[in-house]
Structure 1
């Protein structure tokens, strides 16, 4: 007999089913909410722009720089903040004229502009190089000390130094083509090429202020900040490449030459420093320079230069036979035996005169300078001995052959 089932009551789903169904519904709801597109402003979406900019006032430049990478929208809001008067006043510090500044690399304002360069680098990341430079120039245009002739007291100003650190951070990692565009942009902005042409075509010292401005701009903005020599060499190449060799030499002297503390005009180099530069420039440039003096009859100058080439070789432990062979090459420039003999006699006289000058300096010098003067005299006497020894070796080799 079949049993009868009571169907008058409602079956209640078991508890396991109910929990499973609830959990499924929960995850489904979460998934739906997560799948909705979030605002690229994140939690800042609910804030008015004015409040967002007030928040930026309490962030450091480094923090703002990090925030700019959150999204394109946030970056655009930061760009808008930079363009406001309050943002510009806060970010574009202009305390460049403190005469008591400590070591420049440790000053706060330099660190500030290094960080500001990173901020601009990130905010303008999606723009073409040309547009990035135009935007940055627009923002920095009101900073007078960033301009070529913008500061009335450039020697007491770190404005160009800050500008250089800013550009260094901005262009770090850029390829050479982009960096060339930066240099060309700066040249157009400052009319740098025309100013350089005026300086190199003028009589030395006749355009003192212009030479000083060129020196400060090139050193502080383009050359002095780089850690790797290859970077400095790139920018120096940009400066020198358009010019013929004689103008390149003049520009190098203006940019790197020693300066007078009184009037800032480059002083004439010591012969020892000139000799060092010639040695480091290589055989071809050194010989060309010395041969030019020989052709133009400047025998006494040439003889003194030979002495200091020998002195540098002695001090730096270079091979002395190099100096002797260089003198031998220069001798061949003279057209007659009489001229060659006069030149060799001038070299001997130049050694004697240099030794007497240094001896007099030792005897009449201050106590603080005694040690240095004596060591210079010692090296010069040693240089003379080594030089003449190499001359004797060369003579004996010629006779034996």
Structure 2
């Protein structure tokens, strides 16, 4: 009996222990609240949450937006409030701001703001993202057409550009097309560009190109936006737009200097923007442009608004790089324009002398062009035209000096001096090349 009683008593406590453990396991799951997507911010009123945001940098708020969809939604609402707009939409575009915690200039601020809105609107369709961004930025007057009283000294459009650059980085081509169409319709730019390309040369650069082609953009992005701007128009209008966007502007009032390429030789600074744009369209990033397209565009550009001085044409080609320069010269050789090709080659030699380029570059370029001609007669005819062009230009410049045609800078005499040195150095390189090849064969 003792044995049986001892064996039966322990069974009851063990059963009670199991039931007790099951109850203890179920109780926390039934009684504790569900975890919140706001985390510890769940306990804060919305007003306090927004006050906390005022103490965070834009980069910190941008990181916070990635925590959860709920927090991202709160940040979207915060950005739309008046206090959020005052905090984030800095508008002192007419002077550099002192360094801030988020790390520097107002351009860096809008770069960080672009990343913040990119993350906050990540789950929205492209059209809704653009509408929201437009609603946020619409209160900034310097982001609007004719909204700034001093556009020449304003960083507003540049800030808008870096903002859009960060916002759209990584978007596929279809989404970028939607961005362009949205901005094109919003600013009614089609009508404005039509006015610019069909009127007399007296217009300011359109605003949208300056926004989309902001400094610091990736080459592929810049090629895409520039293609969207130019491609809808005929070639003659494309050349005019290219000059308006990238050509020389007055440091006094910011207007396009239309007569710069016509009145006299210009410097590299005035042509660098145009040369960079041509290289961009000729590169692999611009898939919609062929070599013939770019060469035709350069040809049309050289008569905007009237025919350029040949020296400015030559300097633009040198700045555009070896590939474009050779392709342009070779097209003239193939089309039988030997006289025009020879004269352009002489001006390229002159630019090499003036701008201190190595003269052997001009000789090597001439050699490559000579290989394009299909027969020895065509090649020899080109070389004869080249020497005739040298002689004719020297006689014209000498006649101008003898006639006493001098200005304050004595440019006539300087041009003669440079051309004589250019011819001597050019022929010296040819002699070096010829003597070197003859000694190697002997």
What TM-score, normalized by structure 2, do the two folds share? 0.65
Partner of 1:224: 215
Partner of 2:85: 88
Question: Does residue 124 of the first structure (1) align with residue 118 of the second (2)?
Answer: no
What CA deviation, in whole Å up to 9, does each residue of 1:12-51 have, x standing for no partner? 977x9998877665554444457x6333233333333222
Match of 2:239 among 238, 249, 262: 249
- Following superposition, the deviation at residue 240 of structure 1 comes to 2.0
Aligned-partner Cα distance in 2 for 1:293–1:201: 33
Partner of 2:317: 275
Aligned-partner Cα distance in 1 for 2:341–2:11: 120
- Within 5 Å, which residues of 2 pair with 1:34-183? 37-98=34-95, 107-183=104-180
Are 2:158 and 2:214, in contact at CA under 8 Å, matched by a contact in 1?
no
Are 2:363 and 2:429, in contact at CA under 8 Å, matched by a contact in 1?
yes
Partner of 1:258: 248
Q: Which runs of 5+ in 2 are unaligned?
A: 268-310, 376-380, 401-407, 410-416
Q: CA 1:286–1:244 in structure 2 vs 1: closer, same or farther (change >3 Å)? A: farther
Q: CA 1:315–1:299 in structure 2 vs 1: closer, same or farther (change >3 Å)? A: closer
Q: CA 1:12–1:324 in structure 2 vs 1: closer, same or farther (change >3 Å)? A: closer
Are 2:329 and 2:341, in contact at CA under 8 Å, matched by a contact in 1?
no
- Following superposition, the deviation at residue 253 of structure 1 comes to 2.1
- RMSD of equivalent CA atoms: 4.8
- Within 5 Å, which residues of 2 pair with 1:367-378? none
What CA deviation, in whole Å up to 9, does each residue of 1:86-133 have, x standing for no partner? 11111111010117999xxx8431121111111111111111111111
Question: Does residue 348 of the first structure (1) align with residue 407 of the second (2)?
Answer: no
Aligned-partner Cα distance in 1 for 2:225–2:398: 42
Q: Per the alignment, in what secondary structure is the counterpart of residue 318 of structure 1? A: helix
Are 1:310 and 1:387, in contact at CA under 8 Å, matched by a contact in 2?
no
Q: Per the alignment, in what secondary structure is the counterpart of residue 58 of structure 1? A: coil
Q: CA 1:40–1:4 in structure 2 vs 1: closer, same or farther (change >3 Å)? A: closer
Aligned-partner Cα distance in 1 for 2:69–2:81: 19
Are 2:142 and 2:148, in contact at CA under 8 Å, matched by a contact in 1?
yes
Are 2:342 and 2:385, in contact at CA under 8 Å, matched by a contact in 1?
no
Are 2:118 and 2:167, in contact at CA under 8 Å, matched by a contact in 1?
yes
Aligned-partner Cα distance in 1 for 2:35–2:386: 86
Q: CA 1:319–1:308 in structure 2 vs 1: closer, same or farther (change >3 Å)? A: closer
Q: CA 1:31–1:237 in structure 2 vs 1: closer, same or farther (change >3 Å)? A: same
Are 1:310 and 1:383, in contact at CA under 8 Å, matched by a contact in 2?
no
Are 1:68 and 1:122, in contact at CA under 8 Å, matched by a contact in 2?
yes
Aligned-partner Cα distance in 1 for 2:87–2:428: 66
Are 2:212 and 2:222, in contact at CA under 8 Å, matched by a contact in 1?
no
What CA deviation, in whole Å up to 9, does each residue of 1:243-268 have, x standing for no partner? 23332222222222233323433332
Match of 1:318 among 343, 346, 361: 361
Q: CA 1:155–1:344 in structure 2 vs 1: closer, same or farther (change >3 Å)? A: same
Match of 2:192 among 160, 178, 195: 195
- Following superposition, the deviation at residue 310 of structure 1 comes to 6.4
- Following superposition, the deviation at residue 77 of structure 1 comes to 1.6
Q: Per the alignment, in what secondary structure is the counterpart of residue 59 of structure 1? A: coil
- Following superposition, the deviation at residue 143 of structure 1 comes to 0.7
Q: CA 1:3–1:132 in structure 2 vs 1: closer, same or farther (change >3 Å)? A: closer
Q: CA 1:24–1:4 in structure 2 vs 1: closer, same or farther (change >3 Å)? A: closer
- Following superposition, the deviation at residue 305 of structure 1 comes to 3.2
Are 1:61 and 1:112, in contact at CA under 8 Å, matched by a contact in 2?
yes
- Following superposition, the deviation at residue 63 of structure 1 comes to 1.9
Q: CA 1:13–1:100 in structure 2 vs 1: closer, same or farther (change >3 Å)? A: closer
